Amino acid sequence: MTVHPSRSLAERRQHAADGLSQAAEPGSGRGIPDATVARLPLYLRALAALAERKVSMASSAKLADAAGVTSAKVRKDLSHLGSYGTRGVGYDVDYLIYQISRELGLTRDRGVVIVGVGNLGQALARYGGFVSRGFRIAALLDTDPARIGDWIAGVCVSPAGDLEEVVRTEDVAIGVITTPAPAAQPVCDRLVAAGVTCILNFAPAVLCVPADVEVRKVDLAMELQILAFHAQRKGAERGSGMQLAEAVR
């Protein structure tokens, strides 16, 4: 038996079919492509919907349909996590939920700090999807004295000066920026200096961060503009020959 004694994190469950797979290093999660990581939450949502309907097993085709992707993509994506499927049968829904949750780090609750309690910040704070998925709002921060002291979704709005202390005491790993654009970079700098390594930026500004900090951005105006491009493209085709004009009934 070629069992590695000091193997990667946690315990390695005995994946029965070890066979000849040596390069994959299942479960260690080292080389998961970004595109796959971005889809894991999608699968998680689809699996949760299946579990709600008391479905205990799901093939890649069924999962693909529920997630809106192709079955080949599902299989390749899941294969990066390890061999958690059974050939001829499919994937165990509950077990796969657990494995993906573990890979995403959702098994342990994570503190999130939201900086900027404007329209969007308030909406995010009240959005149930955060808390229900293991994210705890550690703090709501703002510079406006009129807002400080307000209670939103059971959390009190604190002055922005508390940022460093909150990050330290609450072990915050994720910062959400919902400030106006000019305040975004200074806030970002303070978050990074305080030890935050992952930032979700809703402000319409380009953030400059060290290489070891992960930034994801959501720009609502940008999304609309992209759609406007497609709307124009479709609209232009309407003038010439179209095969499906208003045939949708």
User: Is residue 35 near DNA by the rule CB under 7 A?
Assistant: yes
Identify residue 206 by its one-letter amino acid code.
V
Among 48, 72, 193, 224, binds DNA (CB under 7 A): 72
Find the binding residues for a second copy in span 133-152 (CB under 8 A). Answer: 133-135
User: Is residue 235 near a second copy by the rule CB under 8 A?
Assistant: yes
Is residue 161 within 8 Å of 186, Cβ to Cβ?
no
| DSSP characters over 199-229 | EEE-SSS-----TT-EEEE--HHHHHHHHHH
Residues whose CB is less than 8 angstroms from the CB of residue 168 and which lie 6 or more positions away in sequence, other chains included:
194, 195
Query: Locate tokens 């005995």: which residue?
Result: 14
- DSSP class of 108: S
Find the binding residues for a second copy in span 72-101 (CB under 8 A). Answer: none
User: Is residue 7 near a second copy by the rule CB under 8 A?
Assistant: yes
User: Is residue 35 near a second copy by the rule CB under 8 A?
Assistant: no
User: Is residue 202 near DNA by the rule CB under 7 A?
Assistant: no
End-to-end CA gap in the chain: 64
Find the binding residues for DNA in span 78-97 (CB under 7 A). Answer: 78-79, 83-91
Sign of the dihedral through C-alpha 229, 231, 234, 236? negative
Pair type for strands 155-159 and 214-217: unpaired
Is residue 115 within 8 Å of 172, Cβ to Cβ?
no
Between the alpha carbon of residue 45 and those of residues 72, 82, 102, 229, the distances in Å are: 18, 19, 14, 30
Region binding a second copy by CB under 8 A among candidate stretches 3-11, 85-93, 139-147, 159-167: 3-11
**Residue 230's binding partner out of a second copy, DNA, none, with CB under 5 to 8 Å set by partner kind:** a second copy
Residue 46 Cβ vs a second copy, minimum distance, rounded to whole Å: 7
Residue 34 Cβ vs a second copy, minimum distance, rounded to whole Å: 9
Region binding a second copy by CB under 8 A among candidate stretches 76-84, 85-93, 122-130, 155-163: 122-130
Region binding a second copy by CB under 8 A among candidate stretches 75-83, 141-149, 161-169, 241-249: 241-249
User: Is residue 56 near a second copy by the rule CB under 8 A?
Assistant: no
Region binding a second copy by CB under 8 A among candidate stretches 89-97, 114-122, 142-150, 162-170: 114-122
Among 9, 17, 211, 247, binds DNA (CB under 7 A): 17
Q: Distance (Å, rounded) from C-alpha 111 to C-alpha 137?
A: 6
Size (the chain), residues? 249
Residues at the contact surface with DNA, assessed by CB under 7 A: 10-11, 14, 16-19, 21, 24, 33-36, 59-61, 69-73, 75-76, 78-79, 83-91
